[in-house]
Chains A and B, each alone.
Chain A
Amino acid sequence: MNIVVCAKQVVDVSEIKVDSSTKKPILSGVPQKISDIDKNALEEAIRIKEKHGGKITVVTVGPSDAKERIKELLAMGADEGVLVVPPQNADYSVVSHILAGAIKKIGGYDIVLCGEASIDMFSGQMGPRVAGLLNIPQITYAQNVVVEKDKVVSERNLGDKAVTIESPYPVLITVTKEINQPRLPSLMQILASSSKPIHKWSASDVASGKLEPKIKTVDIKGVPMVRKNVIFHDDLDQCVNKLVDELAKVGVLR
């Protein structure tokens, strides 16, 4: 099985601070990481490879420093990395063209794996867009993946129902966070990964034609949440009574 995993470098959303005067999030200087669910996608790829053999290539469209993050993915078990730095103002359309182009250039793929969504923007667009550009079947929100000789069988989690779907290769699958628990690489693996290649391709190497964004971000607004933050401690009975009185006062006990 030749597998391509799409992995995005994102800001760690739990580390975002809010500027107290503008109420906008401060995005510069926030630690970066590989989006959680993309690690689930890689973990699934590794499990498939362990059973069926093959090769795993990870593709990241992101800034040059994403190379450090790709190293973590190589340590986990990917064989090769590809980094493509996008032009400025790249939107989903531009990035999907680059990803699809890179996947074509890698070639000979059976499965493309992505996370169901990236944890920064959480739009869930990238997988289906790339599948559309490659014109291959898509299976989204997969909660398991079983690889067979000439088909893959997978269960989509739609919340109220589970839909089992089978597809021939090549196919694009987006996985949920519940599908597995991504492994932590050992020190040996981390050391060994330094000899694995990371190719740096330019956007024009992989995507022909003009890469024009279709969406423009006009503003990133803050979402102030105003809460009273009245916290009771000490004597428990008093705490409970005070809380109940407050709740009655604000009119939610009816």
Chain B
Amino acid sequence: MVLVYSDDKKLTLELLNKGKELAKELHKKVIAVCIGHDSFAKDYLEHGADSVIAAEADLHTFKAEEYASILEKIVKENNVEVVLIGSNKNGKELAARLSAKLDTGCVTDCTNVYVKDKKIVTERMVYSGNAIAVEQFLSHPQIVTIPPKAFNPLPKTEGHKGEVIKKKYDFERSPSKITKVQEMKTEGVNVEDAEIIVSCGRGFKNKDDIRLVRELADALKGRTIGCSRPIAADLKWLSEDHWIGLSGHKVKPKLYIACGISGQIQHIAGMRDSGVVVAINKDPEALIFKSADYGIVGDLYQVLPKLTNAIREKMG
């Protein structure tokens, strides 16, 4: 069996596509799992699952310890050989905890997964984007986490039939307690989907100056702005949904404009798959120019207004 799980429905549909492909090659079936509800069971069947296990359990909040305990049971009962888990923060800690319980291997954030000699081979970015590690499992079950957008979902097959198995699961309870869930301030930007991103870094002196980036983004009809880590994490001039890099979002727009960003490797890790990269920096030695197709060496306070005007004129 190939098992697919994420608490994010969209991501589960993407995993199902990959799960289906791996299952076919291994002559297995693919099961999707819902924990604590069965609301998406029909969607999962229509997007490729052979069956859905809806685990009924007396829990209301996510705790990796408890979810791992439930998945451990499902894996053992169903002779699962491959587990695909959605690589968001909850998914990653769940996968790792589950691997410890099952004393097996786990590879996180895989952007490619395939079968070789009946074993799963994975590829993932390491050394902050300097390399890709190709790894192969020596143990069972093989646990892999997959980030959003690595694979497309399968098209929907209306009325696709399959079994929905509702079953009650006991689990090991964690003594920890969730006391508060607070929505964080976000501006609802989705840099991952953006086609054009204008991004700002420490080269900006004041929060208000970010207006220069916004104006350029507007002129480009891209409207999406991004930033380096210090702008979101330390200065908090922009919310974390703008943050691009190793510990932020990974983006691949067709045009990425980096303004006042030095181009440290952890930033590059988040935007290296962009189409055309433009850099504006006053330091001719700035690393960002090495990762750029086009660059202007100059003060962003002079360059940006001129560039915005020139683009407005060009685009009419």
What's the minimum C-beta distance from B171 to chain A, rounded to whole angstroms?
13
- A217 and B131 form a contact (CB under 8 A): no
What's the minimum C-beta distance from B261 to chain A, rounded to whole angstroms?
15
B293 beta carbon closer than 8 Å to chain A: yes
- B297 and A252 form a contact (CB under 8 A): no
Chain B residues whose CB sits within 8 angstroms of the CB of A237 once the complex forms:
306
A239 beta carbon closer than 8 Å to chain B: yes
Chain B residues whose CB sits within 8 angstroms of the CB of A240 once the complex forms:
296, 303, 306-307, 310
A177 beta carbon closer than 8 Å to chain B: yes
Q: State which of A52-60, A184-192, A223-231 sits at the interface with chain B.
A: A223-231
Digit string of A116-157 for contact with B (CB within 8 Å is 1, else 0)?
A: 000111111111111111000111110000000000010011
What's the minimum C-beta distance from A18 to chain B, rounded to whole angstroms?
7
- A225 and B291 form a contact (CB under 8 A): yes
Chain A residues whose CB sits within 8 angstroms of the CB of B10 once the complex forms:
none
In the bound complex, CA of A199 to CA of B98 (Å): 31
A16 beta carbon closer than 8 Å to chain B: yes
Q: How many residues of A contact B (CB 8 A)?
A: 82
- A161 and B184 form a contact (CB under 8 A): yes
- A124 and B293 form a contact (CB under 8 A): no
- B128 and A119 form a contact (CB under 8 A): yes
Knowing A214-B138, A215-B107, A215-B137, the reply to whether A227 touches B99 (Cβ < 8 A) is: no
In the bound complex, CA of A204 to CA of B183 (Å): 46
Q: Is the interface of A mostly helix, strand, loop or mixed?
A: mixed
Q: State which of B35-43, B156-164, B203-211, B271-279 sits at the interface with chain A.
A: B271-279
A106 beta carbon closer than 8 Å to chain B: no
B165 beta carbon closer than 8 Å to chain A: no
- B182 and A247 form a contact (CB under 8 A): no
Knowing A124-B92, A131-B97, A215-B135, the reply to whether A225 touches B130 (Cβ < 8 A) is: no
B64 beta carbon closer than 8 Å to chain A: yes
Digit string of A201-238 for contact with B (CB within 8 Å is 1, else 0)?
A: 00000000000111111111111010111111100110
Knowing A161-B184, A167-B177, A237-B306, the reply to whether A221 touches B65 (Cβ < 8 A) is: no
Which residue in chain B gives the minimum CB-CB distance to A93? B105
Digit string of A161-191 for contact with B (CB within 8 Å is 1, else 0)?
A: 1111111100100000110000000000000
A72 beta carbon closer than 8 Å to chain B: no
Which one of A129, A141, A228 contacts B100 once the chains associate, using CB atoms below 8 Å? Answer: A129
- A244 and B310 form a contact (CB under 8 A): yes
- A140 and B302 form a contact (CB under 8 A): no
Which residue in chain B gives the minimum CB-CB distance to A116? B247
Which 5 A-B pairs have CB atoms at the shortest separation, nearest pair first?
A132-B100, A214-B105, A128-B96, A167-B176, A214-B139
Besides the contacts A129-B99, A228-B294, what 20 more A-B pairs have beta carbons closer than 8 Å?
A14-B128, A18-B130, A91-B105, A93-B99, A120-B126, A121-B127, A124-B96, A125-B108, A127-B96, A129-B97, A137-B176, A159-B184, A160-B241, A163-B178, A166-B177, A227-B290, A228-B293, A229-B289, A232-B297, A243-B296
Name 28 interchain pairs, CB-CB below 8 A, sorted by A.
Answer: A13-B130, A14-B128, A14-B264, A18-B130, A91-B105, A93-B99, A123-B109, A123-B124, A128-B93, A132-B100, A158-B90, A163-B180, A165-B178, A167-B176, A168-B176, A171-B176, A177-B247, A178-B234, A212-B138, A214-B104, A214-B137, A218-B135, A220-B133, A222-B132, A236-B302, A237-B306, A252-B275, A253-B315
Q: Which residues of A contact B (CB under 8 A)?
A: 11, 13-14, 16, 18, 24-25, 27, 91-93, 96, 119-133, 137-141, 153, 156-168, 171, 177-178, 212-223, 225, 227-233, 236-237, 239-241, 243-244, 246-248, 250, 252-253
